[in-house]
C-alpha cells in the first residue's frame, strides 16, 4: 500500500565527476530524478497535506565542466527550477528544492561496483584517486542532511552546503552576464582550499 509522502528526496549518482559514461548514465542521473518527480509529486498534490521534494544535483550543476556528469546535474537543476515555478503557480502547498553539494564523505567513487554490466566504463584512475581523497575529507553526510532539513523548514530553494564553491559559482555567473568566455574550472584552487582546511 502506498502511504502518504510529505517529504521526498531524489537523486542518483552513477559515476564520479569528470568521468564519461554512455547515454544510459544520463538516464540514471537525470531520468531517475525525473521519474521520482513524476511518481511522487502527483501523490503529494493529491493528498492535500502539502509536502516538499528535494532533488539532488551537485555543484557540477552550477559550474562549468564536469563532462557528462555535469550535463546531468545541470539538467536536474533546470528540472527543479521549472518544477518549483509550477508548484508555486499551483498554490505552493508542495514545494521543491535542489541540493547542490560539493564533496561529501560517501562512497560515490566506488559506485562502479553497483553499475549494471551494460553501463560499465572502467575506472578513471586519476579522477578516482583524486575523488576518493576529496570525499574522504568532504562534509559529513549528517551535516549535508541538516542543511537539507533546514532548507525544507525555511522553504529555501537552492541548497548549497559548501560555501567554498561560492567564488567559482560567482565567476561563472559573471562570465555569463559579461557575455564572456566559458569560466575556467580551477581544480588546483580547490586543492589549495582543501589544504587550508576548507571542506570542498
Q: For the full predicted model, state whether its pTM sits above 0.85.
A: no
Residue 107 lies in a domain: yes
Task: Answer whether 148's CB lies under 8 Å from 99's CB.
Answer: yes
The pLDDT value recorded for residue 1 is: 42
Q: Identify whether 89 is part of a domain.
A: yes
The DSSP bridge pattern shows strands 94-99 and 7-10 to be unpaired
Q: Cell numbers for 116, please give them.
A: 549494471
Q: Does 195 map to a domain?
A: no
Half-sphere exposure of 67 (CA within 13 A, CB side): 13
Q: Is residue 154 part of a domain?
A: yes
Q: What is the pLDDT of residue 18?
A: 47
Is residue 198 situated within a structural domain?
no
Q: Do the beta carbons of residue 2 and residue 40 sit within 8 Å?
A: no
pLDDT value of position 135: 66
Total domains in the fold of the chain: 1
Within a domain: 181:
no
**Residue 175 domain flag:** no
Q: Along the 200 residues of the chain, how does pLDDT read in single tens digits? A: 456 778 888 875 544 444 444 555 577 789 999 999 999 999 999 999 999 999 999 999 999 887 888 999 999 999 999 999 999 999 999 999 999 999 898 876 666 666 666 656 555 555 566 566 666 668 899 999 999 999 999 999 999 999 989 999 999 999 999 999 998 877 777 778 777 777 77
Q: How many residues would you count in the chain? A: 200
Would you tell me the crossing angle of helices 67-89 and 32-47 to the nearest 10 degrees? Answer: 20
Under a CB-based contact definition with an 8 Å cutoff, are residues 123 and 130 in contact? no
> 48, 93 in Cβ contact below 8 A?
yes
pLDDT of residue 16: 46
Structural domain boundaries enclosing 125 = 7-164
Task: Return the CATH number at 61.
Answer: 3.40.50.720
Amino acid at each position: 500500500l502506498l502511504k502518504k509522502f510529505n517529504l521526498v528526496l531524489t537523486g542518483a549518482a552513477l559515476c564520479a565527476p569528470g568521468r564519461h559514461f554512455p547515454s544510459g548514465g544520463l538516464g540514471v542521473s537525470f531520468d531517475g530524478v525525473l521519474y521520482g518527480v513524476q511518481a511522487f509529486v502527483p501523490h503529494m498534490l493529491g493528498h492535500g497535506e502539502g509536502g516538499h521534494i528535494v532533488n539532488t544535483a551537485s555543484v557540477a550543476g552550477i559550474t562549468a565542466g564536469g563532462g557528462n556528469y555535469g550535463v546531468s546535474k545541470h539538467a536536474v537543476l533546470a528540472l527543479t527550477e521549472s518544477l518549483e515555478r509550477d508548484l508555486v503557480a499551483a498554490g505552493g502547498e508542495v514545494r521543491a528544492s535542489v541540493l547542490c553539494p560539493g564533496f561529501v564523505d560517501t562512497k560515490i567513487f566506488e559506485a562502479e561496483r553497483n553499475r549494471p554490466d551494460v553501463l560499465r566504463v572502467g575506472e578513471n584512475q586519476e579522477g578516482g584517486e583524486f575523488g576518493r581523497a576529496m570525499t574522504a575529507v568532504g562534509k559529513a553526510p549528517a551535516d549535508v542532511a541538516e542543511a537539507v532539513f533546514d532548507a525544507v523548514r525555511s522553504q529555501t530553494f537552492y541548497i548549497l552546503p559548501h560555501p567554498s564553491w561560492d567564488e567559482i559559482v560567482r565567476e561563472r555567473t559573471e562570465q555569463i552576464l559579461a557575455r564572456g568566455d566559458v569560466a575556467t574550472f580551477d581544480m588546483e584552487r580547490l586543492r589549495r582550499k582543501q589544504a587550508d582546511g576548507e571542506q570542498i
